[in-house]
Structure 1
Protein backbone atom coordinates (compact mmCIF):
# COMPACT_ATOMS: atom_id res chain seq x y z
CA UNK A 1 0.00 0.00 0.00
CA UNK A 2 1.20 3.41 -0.86
CA UNK A 3 1.80 5.66 2.10
CA UNK A 4 1.78 2.85 4.66
CA UNK A 5 4.30 3.23 7.42
CA UNK A 6 6.38 0.18 7.99
CA UNK A 7 7.35 -0.50 11.57
CA UNK A 8 10.05 -2.84 12.65
CA UNK A 9 9.28 -5.05 15.54
CA UNK A 10 11.71 -4.91 18.40
CA UNK A 11 13.44 -8.19 19.16
CA UNK A 12 11.66 -10.15 21.87
CA UNK A 13 12.79 -9.16 25.33
CA UNK A 14 14.50 -11.92 27.26
CA UNK A 15 13.49 -11.76 30.93
CA UNK A 16 16.43 -11.39 33.27
CA UNK A 17 18.96 -10.74 30.48
CA UNK A 18 20.43 -7.70 32.23
CA UNK A 19 20.46 -9.58 35.53
CA UNK A 20 22.26 -12.47 33.84
CA UNK A 21 24.94 -9.96 32.85
CA UNK A 22 25.25 -8.85 36.48
CA UNK A 23 25.60 -12.48 37.61
CA UNK A 24 28.24 -13.07 34.93
CA UNK A 25 30.12 -10.01 36.16
CA UNK A 26 30.06 -11.15 39.78
CA UNK A 27 31.19 -14.66 38.93
CA UNK A 28 33.97 -13.36 36.67
CA UNK A 29 35.36 -10.99 39.32
CA UNK A 30 35.01 -13.71 41.95
CA UNK A 31 37.01 -16.15 39.82
CA UNK A 32 39.75 -13.59 39.20
CA UNK A 33 40.04 -13.03 42.96
CA UNK A 34 40.12 -16.79 43.61
CA UNK A 35 42.84 -17.29 40.97
CA UNK A 36 44.97 -14.59 42.61
CA UNK A 37 45.02 -16.45 45.93
CA UNK A 38 47.42 -19.26 44.92
CA UNK A 39 49.67 -16.66 43.30
CA UNK A 40 49.91 -14.73 46.57
CA UNK A 41 50.43 -17.93 48.56
CA UNK A 42 53.10 -19.17 46.17
CA UNK A 43 54.96 -15.87 46.37
CA UNK A 44 54.87 -16.13 50.15
CA UNK A 45 56.16 -19.71 50.08
CA UNK A 46 59.17 -18.77 47.93
CA UNK A 47 60.25 -16.11 50.40
CA UNK A 48 58.26 -12.92 49.80
CA UNK A 49 56.81 -12.79 53.31
CA UNK A 50 54.84 -9.59 52.66
CA UNK A 51 52.59 -11.61 50.34
CA UNK A 52 50.98 -13.36 53.32
CA UNK A 53 49.20 -10.10 54.18
CA UNK A 54 48.01 -9.83 50.58
CA UNK A 55 46.84 -13.45 50.70
CA UNK A 56 44.85 -12.65 53.87
CA UNK A 57 43.35 -9.56 52.23
CA UNK A 58 42.49 -11.65 49.19
CA UNK A 59 40.74 -14.19 51.43
CA UNK A 60 38.54 -11.40 52.79
CA UNK A 61 37.80 -10.15 49.29
CA UNK A 62 36.93 -13.63 47.99
CA UNK A 63 34.58 -14.19 50.94
CA UNK A 64 32.82 -10.85 50.49
CA UNK A 65 32.46 -11.40 46.76
CA UNK A 66 31.00 -14.85 47.39
CA UNK A 67 28.42 -13.49 49.79
CA UNK A 68 27.54 -10.61 47.47
CA UNK A 69 27.22 -13.03 44.55
CA UNK A 70 24.37 -14.80 46.32
CA UNK A 71 22.09 -11.76 45.90
CA UNK A 72 22.01 -11.49 42.08
CA UNK A 73 21.95 -15.28 41.67
CA UNK A 74 18.90 -15.45 43.98
CA UNK A 75 17.23 -12.64 42.02
CA UNK A 76 17.97 -14.41 38.74
CA UNK A 77 16.37 -17.58 40.06
CA UNK A 78 13.38 -15.63 41.39
CA UNK A 79 12.81 -14.00 37.99
CA UNK A 80 12.60 -17.33 36.24
CA UNK A 81 16.24 -17.80 35.36
CA UNK A 82 18.31 -20.88 36.13
CA UNK A 83 18.60 -21.85 39.78
CA UNK A 84 21.96 -23.61 39.57
CA UNK A 85 24.00 -20.37 39.90
CA UNK A 86 22.45 -19.74 43.32
CA UNK A 87 23.08 -23.25 44.60
CA UNK A 88 26.59 -23.37 43.13
CA UNK A 89 27.35 -19.98 44.71
CA UNK A 90 26.04 -21.20 48.05
CA UNK A 91 28.21 -24.33 47.92
CA UNK A 92 31.18 -22.19 46.88
CA UNK A 93 30.74 -19.75 49.78
CA UNK A 94 30.41 -22.63 52.24
CA UNK A 95 33.67 -24.08 50.90
CA UNK A 96 35.31 -20.66 51.07
CA UNK A 97 34.23 -20.28 54.68
CA UNK A 98 35.85 -23.62 55.51
CA UNK A 99 38.91 -22.54 53.53
CA UNK A 100 39.10 -19.26 55.44
CA UNK A 101 39.04 -20.92 58.85
CA UNK A 102 41.44 -23.68 57.77
CA UNK A 103 43.87 -20.95 56.72
CA UNK A 104 43.49 -19.10 60.01
CA UNK A 105 44.12 -22.33 61.90
CA UNK A 106 47.18 -23.11 59.78
CA UNK A 107 45.66 -26.43 58.69
CA UNK A 108 47.50 -26.58 55.38
CA UNK A 109 46.58 -30.26 54.94
CA UNK A 110 42.99 -29.05 54.45
CA UNK A 111 43.66 -25.53 53.18
CA UNK A 112 45.64 -26.48 50.06
CA UNK A 113 43.43 -29.25 48.60
CA UNK A 114 40.27 -27.31 49.44
CA UNK A 115 41.76 -24.32 47.63
CA UNK A 116 42.35 -26.46 44.54
CA UNK A 117 38.75 -27.70 44.69
CA UNK A 118 37.42 -24.14 45.05
CA UNK A 119 39.44 -22.87 42.09
CA UNK A 120 38.15 -25.80 40.03
CA UNK A 121 34.51 -25.25 41.04
CA UNK A 122 34.73 -21.51 40.42
CA UNK A 123 36.25 -22.14 36.97
CA UNK A 124 33.45 -24.52 36.06
CA UNK A 125 30.92 -21.93 37.21
CA UNK A 126 32.60 -19.28 35.08
CA UNK A 127 32.40 -21.36 31.91
CA UNK A 128 28.86 -22.51 32.66
CA UNK A 129 27.46 -19.04 33.36
CA UNK A 130 28.90 -17.66 30.14
CA UNK A 131 27.28 -20.52 28.23
CA UNK A 132 23.93 -19.96 29.96
CA UNK A 133 21.57 -18.17 27.61
CA UNK A 134 23.99 -18.46 24.71
CA UNK A 135 21.38 -20.25 22.58
CA UNK A 136 18.66 -18.14 20.98
Structure 2
Protein backbone atom coordinates (compact mmCIF):
# COMPACT_ATOMS: atom_id res chain seq x y z
CA UNK A 1 0.00 0.00 0.00
CA UNK A 2 1.43 3.38 -0.96
CA UNK A 3 1.92 6.14 1.61
CA UNK A 4 -1.11 8.04 0.34
CA UNK A 5 -3.35 4.95 0.42
CA UNK A 6 -2.06 4.00 3.88
CA UNK A 7 -2.99 7.44 5.21
CA UNK A 8 -6.40 7.26 3.53
CA UNK A 9 -6.93 3.80 5.03
CA UNK A 10 -6.32 5.15 8.55
CA UNK A 11 -8.75 8.07 8.21
CA UNK A 12 -11.75 6.28 9.73
CA UNK A 13 -9.79 5.47 12.90
CA UNK A 14 -8.46 9.03 13.10
CA UNK A 15 -12.03 10.33 12.74
CA UNK A 16 -13.20 7.91 15.44
CA UNK A 17 -10.40 9.01 17.77
CA UNK A 18 -11.17 12.68 17.22
CA UNK A 19 -14.91 12.18 17.71
CA UNK A 20 -14.38 10.06 20.85
CA UNK A 21 -12.08 12.64 22.43
CA UNK A 22 -14.53 15.44 21.61
CA UNK A 23 -17.44 13.45 23.05
CA UNK A 24 -15.47 12.80 26.23
CA UNK A 25 -14.41 16.44 26.58
CA UNK A 26 -17.94 17.67 25.89
CA UNK A 27 -19.29 15.24 28.49
CA UNK A 28 -16.87 16.75 31.01
CA UNK A 29 -17.98 20.23 29.96
CA UNK A 30 -21.60 19.19 30.59
CA UNK A 31 -20.71 18.10 34.12
CA UNK A 32 -18.88 21.38 34.74
CA UNK A 33 -21.79 23.44 33.43
CA UNK A 34 -24.22 21.48 35.61
CA UNK A 35 -22.02 21.95 38.66
CA UNK A 36 -21.73 25.68 38.09
CA UNK A 37 -25.47 25.95 37.52
CA UNK A 38 -26.10 24.25 40.86
CA UNK A 39 -23.93 26.87 42.58
CA UNK A 40 -26.42 29.52 41.53
CA UNK A 41 -25.45 30.78 38.07
CA UNK A 42 -28.83 30.28 36.40
CA UNK A 43 -27.59 31.43 32.97
CA UNK A 44 -25.48 28.29 32.74
CA UNK A 45 -28.60 26.14 32.43
CA UNK A 46 -29.09 27.64 28.96
CA UNK A 47 -25.47 26.79 28.11
CA UNK A 48 -25.94 23.28 29.53
CA UNK A 49 -28.99 22.75 27.33
CA UNK A 50 -27.29 24.10 24.19
CA UNK A 51 -24.21 22.01 24.85
CA UNK A 52 -26.42 18.91 25.10
CA UNK A 53 -27.37 19.47 21.46
CA UNK A 54 -23.68 19.66 20.54
CA UNK A 55 -23.03 16.44 22.45
CA UNK A 56 -25.86 14.71 20.60
CA UNK A 57 -24.33 15.72 17.25
CA UNK A 58 -20.90 14.55 18.36
CA UNK A 59 -22.22 11.13 19.40
CA UNK A 60 -23.86 10.72 15.99
CA UNK A 61 -20.53 11.55 14.36
CA UNK A 62 -18.80 9.03 16.59
CA UNK A 63 -21.32 6.32 15.69
CA UNK A 64 -20.76 6.97 11.98
CA UNK A 65 -16.99 6.87 12.48
CA UNK A 66 -17.27 3.58 14.38
CA UNK A 67 -19.22 2.13 11.46
CA UNK A 68 -16.50 3.28 9.05
CA UNK A 69 -13.81 1.68 11.22
CA UNK A 70 -15.80 -1.54 11.14
CA UNK A 71 -16.34 -1.49 7.36
CA UNK A 72 -13.03 -0.12 6.16
CA UNK A 73 -10.59 -1.34 8.76
CA UNK A 74 -12.16 -4.53 10.03
CA UNK A 75 -12.74 -3.17 13.51
CA UNK A 76 -14.90 -5.08 15.97
CA UNK A 77 -18.66 -4.65 15.98
CA UNK A 78 -19.05 -3.72 19.67
CA UNK A 79 -17.78 -0.10 19.28
CA UNK A 80 -20.51 0.49 16.69
CA UNK A 81 -23.15 -0.81 19.09
CA UNK A 82 -21.65 1.08 22.03
CA UNK A 83 -21.54 4.31 20.00
CA UNK A 84 -25.17 3.91 18.93
CA UNK A 85 -26.09 3.17 22.55
CA UNK A 86 -24.24 6.31 23.62
CA UNK A 87 -26.26 8.35 21.11
CA UNK A 88 -29.50 6.88 22.49
CA UNK A 89 -28.42 7.53 26.08
CA UNK A 90 -27.61 11.16 25.30
CA UNK A 91 -31.08 11.55 23.77
CA UNK A 92 -32.65 10.02 26.88
CA UNK A 93 -30.47 12.27 29.02
CA UNK A 94 -31.77 15.33 27.17
CA UNK A 95 -35.37 14.21 27.68
CA UNK A 96 -34.82 13.62 31.40
CA UNK A 97 -33.14 17.00 31.76
CA UNK A 98 -35.91 18.86 29.96
CA UNK A 99 -38.45 17.11 32.17
CA UNK A 100 -36.34 18.04 35.24
CA UNK A 101 -36.15 14.40 36.35
CA UNK A 102 -32.84 14.74 38.15
CA UNK A 103 -33.10 11.33 39.85
CA UNK A 104 -32.53 9.78 36.41
CA UNK A 105 -30.61 12.62 34.78
CA UNK A 106 -27.62 12.60 37.15
CA UNK A 107 -26.89 8.84 37.23
CA UNK A 108 -27.39 8.59 33.47
CA UNK A 109 -24.83 11.36 33.04
CA UNK A 110 -22.31 9.25 34.94
CA UNK A 111 -23.08 6.23 32.75
CA UNK A 112 -22.60 8.38 29.63
CA UNK A 113 -19.24 9.54 30.96
CA UNK A 114 -18.18 5.95 31.67
CA UNK A 115 -19.17 4.72 28.20
CA UNK A 116 -17.51 7.72 26.52
CA UNK A 117 -14.33 6.98 28.49
CA UNK A 118 -14.35 3.31 27.46
CA UNK A 119 -14.83 4.18 23.79
CA UNK A 120 -12.09 6.80 23.89
CA UNK A 121 -9.72 4.30 25.51
CA UNK A 122 -10.54 1.72 22.84
CA UNK A 123 -9.85 4.12 19.97
CA UNK A 124 -6.33 4.75 21.25
CA UNK A 125 -5.54 1.07 21.87
CA UNK A 126 -7.06 -0.46 18.72
CA UNK A 127 -4.59 -1.12 15.95
CA UNK A 128 -6.09 -2.46 12.74
CA UNK A 129 -4.03 -5.04 10.91
CA UNK A 130 -3.77 -5.61 7.19
CA UNK A 131 -5.68 -8.88 7.70
CA UNK A 132 -8.53 -6.96 9.40
CA UNK A 133 -8.74 -4.57 6.44
CA UNK A 134 -8.73 -7.47 3.95
CA UNK A 135 -11.52 -9.21 5.87
CA UNK A 136 -13.55 -5.98 5.88
CA UNK A 137 -13.10 -5.73 2.11
CA UNK A 138 -14.15 -9.35 1.60
CA UNK A 139 -17.26 -8.90 3.79
CA UNK A 140 -18.34 -5.81 1.84
CA UNK A 141 -17.78 -7.35 -1.61
CA UNK A 142 -19.54 -10.66 -0.93
Shorter-normalised TM range:
0.7 to 0.9
**From 95, 99, 104, the counterpart of 2:98:** 104
- Counterpart of 2:118 in structure 1 is 124
Structure 1 or 2, whichever has the larger Rg, is 1
Structure 2 residues not aligned, in runs of 5+: 130-142
Aligned to 1:33: 26
Other-structure match for 1:58: 51
Cα distance between partner residues in 1 of 2:2 and 2:96? 53
- Point out where structure 1 has 5 or more consecutive residues left out of the alignment: 1-8
Instruction: List 4+ stretches of structure 1 deviating above 3 A.
Output: 13-16
Greater relative CO (CA pairs within 8 A, separation 6+): 2
Whole-angstrom distance in 1 between the partners of 2:95 and 2:16:
27
> Aligned equivalents of 1:81 and 1:90: distance in 2?
15
Cα deviation 1:57-110 (Å, max 9, x = unaligned): 111110111112222211111122232221110111111111110001000000
Q: TM-score under structure 1 normalisation?
A: 0.84
Q: In the alignment, which of 81, 84, 108 is matched to residue 87 of structure 1? A: 81
8 Å CA contact retained: 1:67, 1:93: yes
SS at match of 1:47: coil
Query: How many residue pairs get matched?
Result: 128
Q: How many Å separate the matches in 1 of 2:15 and 2:57?
A: 16
Q: TM-score, normalised by structure 2?
A: 0.81
